[in-house]
Structure 1
């Protein structure tokens, strides 16, 4: 991790935690986000009666079964789970339009994968859009898969439960009432929506990729946090499960340029990428 000029150096314990995060996920915690180490891990220190990050790192280094689980919890706590419903909504609208083009004249059900789905707002947004497209245009619902590396995030995604603050970020009143039920302090996605999604845990760097080929893969705002080497690995692996003519959707500040030769910009869909011709 490169420190800006004048920034205080990381402590030994913080450096160990940064290294652990990168080894497990490929994510680099740059100097601008190093403050998250203390804020994210303080609750864990209190729960376990640990006085400092040094004690936490020492506990992990002991290497027993409990300590291995502790390392996973540390990594999970440091992952960035920032998301919202209909984030960059024009991009999601373009995904549905591209899917409709792919489905035209095809007898095959499309397959779409939301990689690094966090707490589920992106795949639920897609599920809403496709359900509305089915009602409006008769579009056949695609298979929707969603994965994330975080056990904690996936647990929340599977429940489909969101706070008032979370539900208001990106959702119109009409969609809130149409697709969610109020459950005490939660808004819960209706079963007809939630059960259309297939969730599973996935480390994009090292876990086996989902079986089969996909027509559209969304992997937004993940590459930003990865080292150059990890970006290449992830993009090459994604290219390997994209169907010929399929599309990869990245975040607005991300590109495949300089990271892989397996993907190239789509000529038809701006900001999306297709497998390179061989």
Structure 2
């Protein structure tokens, strides 16, 4: 799949989402756009690409960008970051926030919601350390359909058994005819909001912890640098940033620096951390 229509589509996706589509990903593009083409009554993916280049409504433009995003997620994904949150990140923050008695956590590119709900479980299970505290978990994603799924908090058998212990499933979910529903306690703790990482973090406020995992791997170096700078601006001076296990800031940005011995955990670089 080549030509001006395909090139225009790759530029469209990159401009709106930061995702880089190389020629080697033509098969992926074709497989994900085929259902959209059928829904639009078009005979082929090529016809859809032509429509996108010659004139398409905003809803269709956003839909094709949404389907190209990878929404892979599951509860307590990779385990390590959530152990770091419980053991290495939250205890010193709790000690430092005794006067404010509040914590703010941002799950950027939250996909279908498993990550912010995992964070909510951890915070609730630590309630004895933070009684009466204000806990704010903001979960954002650029995809409206995936945010609707996340906010509904309804997961099928495969999703609810992926990364979730039987004990936590029994405690935090209830069985319904269509799947497993997250408990009202957790759902009330998480605010879902549309947000595109390319738009920066202005207006979201300052956070004690930011999760932005398995997102940067899809960006080019310049976009990674831009996003990392915005994430650093959103962090409190003593805040923590958690990235995916395959992601690094080395050679990309000096806005944040790794915490020795804790893979994937970063802090605002000294001299660059925003003032409180």
User: Do the aligned residues in 2 keep the contact of 1:14 with 1:53 (CA within 8 Å)?
Assistant: no
Residue 68 (1) aligns with residue 58 (2): yes
Q: What are structure 2's unaligned runs of at least 5 residues?
A: 272-276
Residue 122 (1) aligns with residue 115 (2): yes
User: Do the aligned residues in 1 keep the contact of 2:9 with 2:53 (CA within 8 Å)?
Assistant: no
> Could you say what secondary structure the match of 1:35 adopts?
helix
Q: Bigger CA drift: 53-62 or 197-206?
A: 53-62
Q: Pick from 247, 254, 257: which aligns with 2:247?
A: 254
User: Do the aligned residues in 2 keep the contact of 1:146 with 1:199 (CA within 8 Å)?
Assistant: yes
Q: Pick from 242, 256, 260: which aligns with 2:235?
A: 242
Counterpart of 1:88? 78
Counterpart of 1:103? 94
Deviation at 1:100, TM superposition (A): 2.1
User: Do the aligned residues in 2 keep the contact of 1:14 with 1:37 (CA within 8 Å)?
Assistant: no
With the length of structure 2 as denominator, give the TM-score of the two structures: 0.90
Q: Compared with structure 1, are the counterparts of its residues 207 and 274 closer, same or farther at alpha carbon in structure 2 (3 Å cutoff)?
A: closer
Deviation at 1:177, TM superposition (A): 1.4
Q: Compared with structure 1, are the counterparts of its residues 63 and 207 closer, same or farther at alpha carbon in structure 2 (3 Å cutoff)?
A: farther
Deviation at 1:158, TM superposition (A): 0.5
Counterpart of 1:229? 222
With the length of structure 1 as denominator, give the TM-score of the two structures: 0.89
Q: Compared with structure 1, are the counterparts of its residues 216 and 208 closer, same or farther at alpha carbon in structure 2 (3 Å cutoff)?
A: closer
Q: Compared with structure 1, are the counterparts of its residues 27 and 253 closer, same or farther at alpha carbon in structure 2 (3 Å cutoff)?
A: same
> Could you say what secondary structure the match of 1:274 adopts?
strand
Residue deviations 1:192-220 (CA, integer Å, cap 9, x gap): 11110011111111255343211111100
User: Do the aligned residues in 2 keep the contact of 1:164 with 1:185 (CA within 8 Å)?
Assistant: no
Q: Distance in 1 between matches of 2:249 and 2:34?
A: 36
**What is the number of equivalent residue pairs in this alignment?**
267
Deviation at 1:57, TM superposition (A): 2.3
Alpha-carbon RMSD across the aligned residues, in angstroms, is 1.9
Residue 171 (1) aligns with residue 160 (2): no
Residue deviations 1:139-172 (CA, integer Å, cap 9, x gap): 6463111111111111100000111111111111
Q: Distance in 2 between matches of 1:47 and 1:177?
A: 39
Q: Pick from 238, 261, 270: which aligns with 1:277?
A: 270
